[in-house]
Amino acid sequence: MHPGARMELAMKSNGTPTLEPELQAMFAELDRRALAGGRRLTLRAWLDLAETWRILDTLRHCRGNRSAAARALGIGRRTLYTTMEKLGIESSWAAVPPTREPA
């Protein structure tokens, strides 16, 4: 597993889980930016952002190899493709327009 792949939960003295202070600050900043932009993120929007970030980060780590990324994420390749489509993540080779028209 590469750095940043795990989120640690700390436990309060009463056994309630809490995020590390650095993660709390990061999420608060994201929320502040969203509010400054005039929008309030729903839970689904937060989850989509987190999922998109995790997939893109893993794809970068795997140098665009979607099969390797799916293995690293612990999901099937087809599941990764479907999730990428749902989130609007395109393969870099699919996003590049053709340089000339076919003859």
As a whole number, mean pLDDT of residues 48-53 equals 93
3-state secondary structure of 9: strand
What domains are there in the chain, each with its CATH number? 42-87 (1.10.10)
Yes or no: say if 92 and 63 are a contact pair by the CB < 8 Å rule. no
Nearest-angstrom CA–CA distance, 37 and 26:
17
Q: How confident is the model at residue 19 (pLDDT cuts 50, 70, 90)?
A: confident
Take residue 69 and report the two structure tokens written for it. Answer: 């990324």
Its pTM stands at 0.68
Instruction: Please check whether residue 92 is in contact with residue 82, taking contact to mean a CB–CB distance below 8 angstroms.
Output: no
pLDDT tens by residue, 53-89: 999 999 999 999 999 999 999 999 999 999 999 999 9
